[in-house]
Chain A
Amino acid sequence: MTSSLSPTVVAAIDDLELAARLVVEGMRTGGHRSPFHGFSTEFRQHRPYRLGDDLKHLDWKLYARSDRLYTRQFRETTNLSVLLVLDRSASMEFPDSGVTKFRYAQVLCAALAYLVSDQGHAVGLMTTEGGKLTYIPPRGGRVHLRSLIARLDRLEASNGWDGPQAIARGAQLLQRRGVVLVVSDFYDDEESMRREMRRAAQRGHDVAMLQVLSADELALPFREHVELEDLETGAVRLVDAARVADAYQVAMRSFLDRCRAAALRDGVDYSLFTTATPLEVALRAYLLERAARPPLRNSARMVAR
């Protein structure tokens, strides 16, 4: 049996790269192999050995023939371009205590980026900063990964998020078929979001809805009267939690059902992540579930071995 890192512990790690690595390593310790494949390198050229080069890249056969040291150079090839679309809306900054949805989503994105990059795929990021779209094109390599994770780490939840636009623009900017992973609570305009995800899927992208919610907003665990402040609009309403809870849960379940049904209808992957679930557990379950499904026609696909 393997022990999982609690979301609280993972979220408490300041270094997002380390947190992502811990999640990915924890996911792998369960006996599962990497769900991503397609790592390949293509020989490019020889160059004279320089001090500091890794000895494993020395071409010993050439050394035997020519008595000179040459280092082999490779060109890394990627199979997929993965674009992470991260929701930065204010509603992601919930709950007040413990792991927020946004931090959970940050670690999730970082872990996915780490995983994807580790498999030699290109990974990019689409989000908004100060009301403007921020796009980091998908690339491979450690340097890019670190840069992307550092950028992710600097992000904070705020207003000005435009989900449909981010998805549409990200799908456009992907030059070839890729994977679009939308990490959000999907509280934006439902119809617009679905439309853009459907369009992205129609372009041939593999689109996935990774819905991040907290247990508190699923259950409305308040007692008696409570003043609720809408994180996005700032509106404050006094509600009798005991009275509205049932209707709230019905509405929430209906919303989740709509999301799931729309994703199925539009050929979009759907997975619900709750912040109470250890990230590596949730991620492993998602990837296994994803691997078990047949690849969608005309779309890029990450598959597990």
Chain B
Amino acid sequence: MIWLNALALIGLAGVVLPVLIHLLARGHARTRRFPSLRFIDPSQLVPTRRTRVQDPILLAVRCAIVALAAFALAQPVLLTAKRKRAMERGLARAIVVDTSASMRRLTPSGSTALDSARRIAAMLAGEAQTSVVIETNNPAQVLQGAAAWLTSHHQNADLAVISDFQRGRLDSSDVRMVTADVGVTPHRIPVASTAPVETQWAPAGSDSNSAVTLLGADGDRTAMTATRTAAATRAIPSPTDTTRAVAIVFPGYTGRRALESAAASTYAPWMVDLLKGLSARGNDVSRFGVRSAGGRRQLLLFTDSAPGSLASARITADAAAALSVAPPVAELEPETLSEREVQALARPARNASPRRSPDANGESDARWLWIAVIALLVIELPLRRRAQGAVASAVEERTRAA
């Protein structure tokens, strides 16, 4: 149940009025001078005031009238499934999904924040009559465009932003730029861990576990070490994608021919990018191919450069840099907005609210309460007359009898 005019519930305080009037009226019993109290049984004296409700039914009816009137003024709406659908029917929603690197972190449920965001986006899109999902790594930039799209639909407009709300990405000034006719609803994706998901640090100098494997003749081991060292001076060690691997095959490697013949040509997109980069920079790679090694696909770069040469060091450095798809450290362990700051971003639409017209007639359920109030008033009248009549007839009867 929702209240269209919840402020009117303050009127519930008026329930105490009948009780107060009842008690105060009893408290101010008139003082009458009387010749003698000798004929009044002492056991029938009222010991204290305000201890007994004289007509509880009448009092209850009066309290109920006040309470029901307060409820009716608050315009309650019982949210049935049908009404809920009707409420959502006229809603246009633009959903902005943050795809920045920080959204790759895990949520408490184990999925990545981005996956969770996409699921929520799909759910929000299903609730609205018209919706659009915008994925961007910079939500602040697309807000105005999304708002423009919403205002063009002349419906209740809701702009949903799904993000981990990394500080600096989106703030209240960005929300203020959105037209007031559009409501803004932030949806925060909780992130459980700040550790990177898809990358790991490659141990420096290790051939076997390195993402970049150097394959050469046994006599070239010293030269290959020099090559790695030279490459390390060019490329800053950074997180690498563990799903990516590169092997650089030097001329003296004994299994070179076997590798060349077994190499496949099914390249992943990152491999294509790497090869294009190597080609652009004029690296001496004569052939290339793909093989499976250690459960992952490895890009084979056959070079004619000798280990320890400057060219081999450049190829190694480029390969290492290509494997490193991880964002900067600041992206992986971001500072996020507090919950209060996120809630401060929320803003209802100025003119349109989905709750304004809960049903087809645009009416609340208050009319039923008003009918109940009228019914109680009809009941209250004979109750009051009965109470007054009982006293009056008793007095009249006593007078007549006396």
Chain A residues at the B interface, C-beta cutoff of 8 Å: 91-96, 101, 185, 187, 214-215, 217-233, 235-240, 242-249, 251-252, 255
Checking B29, B36, B41, B399 against A230 with a beta-carbon cut-off of 8 angstroms, the contacting residue is B36
Chain A residue, CB-CB nearest to B395: A221
Judged by DSSP, the binding face of B is mixed
Please give me the 4 A-B residue pairs with the lowest Cβ-Cβ distance, nearest first: A219-B402, A218-B402, A91-B35, A251-B39
Q: Which residues of B contact A229 (CB under 8 A)?
A: 31-34
A94/B33 in contact, CB under 8 A: yes
Contact with A along B37-78 (1 / 0, CB 8 A): 111110011100100001000000000000000000000000
Question: How many angstroms from the CA of A255 to the CA of B40 in the assembled complex?
Answer: 12
Checking B38, B44, B49, B392 against A244 with a beta-carbon cut-off of 8 angstroms, the contacting residue is B44
Q: Which residues of B contact A187 (CB under 8 A)?
A: 35-36, 38
Write 5 A-B pairs (CB below 8 A) sorted by A numbering: A215-B402, A217-B36, A227-B30, A229-B34, A252-B39
B401/A226 in contact, CB under 8 A: no
Question: How many angstroms from the CA of A243 to the CA of B395 in the assembled complex?
Answer: 11
Known: A187-B38, A248-B39, A255-B39. A224 touches B391 (CB 8 A): yes
Q: Which residues of B contact A223 (CB under 8 A)?
A: 391-392, 395
A228/B44 in contact, CB under 8 A: no
Known: A239-B46, A245-B394. A226 touches B37 (CB 8 A): no
Q: In the complex, how many angstroms separate the beta carbon of A245 from the nearest chain B beta carbon?
A: 5
Chain B residues at the A interface, C-beta cutoff of 8 Å: 26, 29-41, 44-46, 49, 54, 390-392, 394-395, 398-399, 401-402
Known: A221-B395, A245-B394. A232 touches B36 (CB 8 A): yes
Q: Which residues of B contact A93 (CB under 8 A)?
A: 33
Q: In the complex, how many angstroms separate the beta carbon of A215 from the nearest chain B beta carbon?
A: 7
A237/B37 in contact, CB under 8 A: yes
Q: Which residues of A contact B32 (CB under 8 A)?
A: 96, 222, 226-229
Question: How many angstroms from the CA of A226 to the CA of B44 in the assembled complex?
Answer: 13
Checking B31, B34, B44 against A217 with a beta-carbon cut-off of 8 angstroms, the contacting residue is B34
Question: How many angstroms from the CA of A76 to the CA of B39 in the assembled complex?
Answer: 49
6 more A-B residue pairs beyond the given contacts A215-B399, A219-B398, A226-B29, with a C-beta to C-beta distance below 8 A:
A91-B36, A93-B33, A187-B35, A214-B35, A220-B398, A228-B37
Q: In the complex, how many angstroms separate the beta carbon of A218 from the nearest chain B beta carbon?
A: 4
Question: How many angstroms from the CA of A46 to the CA of B2 in the assembled complex?
Answer: 115
Chain A residue, CB-CB nearest to B388: A223
A225/B29 in contact, CB under 8 A: yes
